[in-house]
Amino acid sequence: MSTRESTGGFEKVEVHPAGAPTPVPASPHLSAPPLPAEPLVKIRPRSSWVALDLADLWSYRELLYFLTWRDIKVRYKQTALGAAWAILQPLFLMLIFTLFFGRVAGLAPGGVPYPLFAFTGLVPWTFFANAVSSSGNSLVGNANLITKVYFPRLLVPMAAVAAGLVDFALSFVLLIVIMIYYGVRPTWQLALLPALVLLTTLCATGVGLLLSALNVKYRDIRFALPFLIQLWLFVSSVIVPSSVLPERGRWLLALNPMSGIIEGYRAALLGQPFDWTSLSVATLGTLAVLACAVVAFRRMEKQFADII
């Protein structure tokens, strides 16, 4: 072995090709920043159940921002209509629903014109549906990231939901226009709107997390997703109010948080009385879905890079 090895190898000296080796001026780093006494990162085989590492998630908040920003930036690239799609989707659904269901007498309660009734439901629903579908496919769509770099995997489906908020805001503008057209007067109940938006976001995140994680292992999800969302639309009080259902069947709707949430939007926007029971059930349901989703996601997460 060469004696030079003991000096730590020749890369530690900056040398002039024709001159004698001269030591590198000690850079601030060379004095080695004091290492923490405890490891910054401990890597261990994980047991199946792991807690949510909120500190880790928080330290990556900027990445959430960038992933969301990317999703927004890229979504309408190379489309002719661009962000107009955000408005066109619920608008066309409203027109179709009005055409088919609007004539059926007694559908819209409280003297609300059917187009308005449908649109107040369709705007949050479109957000929810798009958020669930894009976050459900998000992990598989970002496989190149998952297999090449570490970051909390939760961020990917979360960013997909967050990116949907921009479209949501755009379609809300149209909603306001339609509300003005029908002469709806704002009431204090609008104050509950932010809470409802938060609830919708959480619900979409919960469902999206669950589906995105399952999608990694079972690509069936990709095919089941559009179908699932379509079915869900019919039981979410978007097309018809829950009041048209027979009394004994209504508890079933209550199990679906989106039904209570969408009725909540209507009440807030159109100044109708809130159904506090169904709102509370929806809130509890949303939190339960979210909690289950996070637990399940964390459990499946460790396999992502291996099987995606």
Partner 1 sequence: MATIIRVEHLGKQYRIGGPSAAYSTLRETLVGAARAPLRWATRKRGEGHNGQSRIWAVKDVSFEVQAGEVVGIIGRNGAGKSTLLKLLSRITEPTTGSVDLYGRVGSLLEVGTGFHPELSGRENVYLNGAILGMARQEIAQKFDEIVAFAEVEKFIDTPVKHYSSGMYLRLAFAVAAHLEPEILIVDEVLAVGDARFQRKCLDKMRTVGQQGRTVLFVSHNMPAITRLCPRTIMLSEGGVLEDGPSHLVVSTYLNSGLGTVAAREWADASKAPGNDIVRLRAVRVVTEAGATIEAVDIRKPVGIEVTFDVLREGHLLVPNMAFYNEESVLIFMAHDTEPEWRARARTVGRHTSTAWVPGNFFAEGSITVDVAVSSHVPSVEVHLHESDAVAFQVIDSLDGDSARGDFAGPIPGVVRPRLRWTNEFRGEEASSASAAGVLANSPTAAR
- Which residues sit at the interface with partner 1, rule CB under 8 A? 1-2, 4-5, 8-15, 17, 21, 24, 27, 29-33, 35-36, 39-46, 62-63, 65-67, 69-70, 73-74, 77-78, 142, 144-151, 214, 217-221, 302, 305-307
**45 vs 246, which CB is nearer to partner 1?**
45
For the chain, the distance separating the N- and C-terminal CA atoms, rounded to the nearest angstrom, is 46
To partner 1, the closest distance from the beta carbon of 58 in angstroms equals 13
DSSP for 284-302, please give it.
HHHHHHHHHHHHHHHHHHT
The Cβ of residue 93 has, within 10 Å, a number of other Cβ atoms equal to 19
Q: Please state, in angstroms and as integers, the Cα–Cα distance from residue 266 to each residue in 103, 171, 251, 293, following that order.
A: 20, 15, 19, 27
Contact by Cβ (8 Å): 299, 50: yes
**193 vs 229, which CB is nearer to partner 1?**
229
Residues 6+ apart with CB under 8 A from 129: 229, 232, 233
**194 vs 219, which CB is nearer to partner 1?**
219
To partner 1, the closest distance from the beta carbon of 149 in angstroms equals 5
To partner 1, the closest distance from the beta carbon of 166 in angstroms equals 16
The Cβ of residue 278 has, within 10 Å, a number of other Cβ atoms equal to 22
The Cβ of residue 211 has, within 10 Å, a number of other Cβ atoms equal to 24
To partner 1, the closest distance from the beta carbon of 307 in angstroms equals 5
**266 vs 298, which CB is nearer to partner 1?**
298
* CA-derived radius of gyration, the chain: 26
Closest CA to 122 of 141, 140, 104, 96: 96
To partner 1, the closest distance from the beta carbon of 24 in angstroms equals 6
**61 vs 194, which CB is nearer to partner 1?**
61
How many angstroms separate the CA atoms of 48 and 300, rounded? Answer: 8
**54 vs 105, which CB is nearer to partner 1?**
54
To partner 1, the closest distance from the beta carbon of 153 in angstroms equals 10
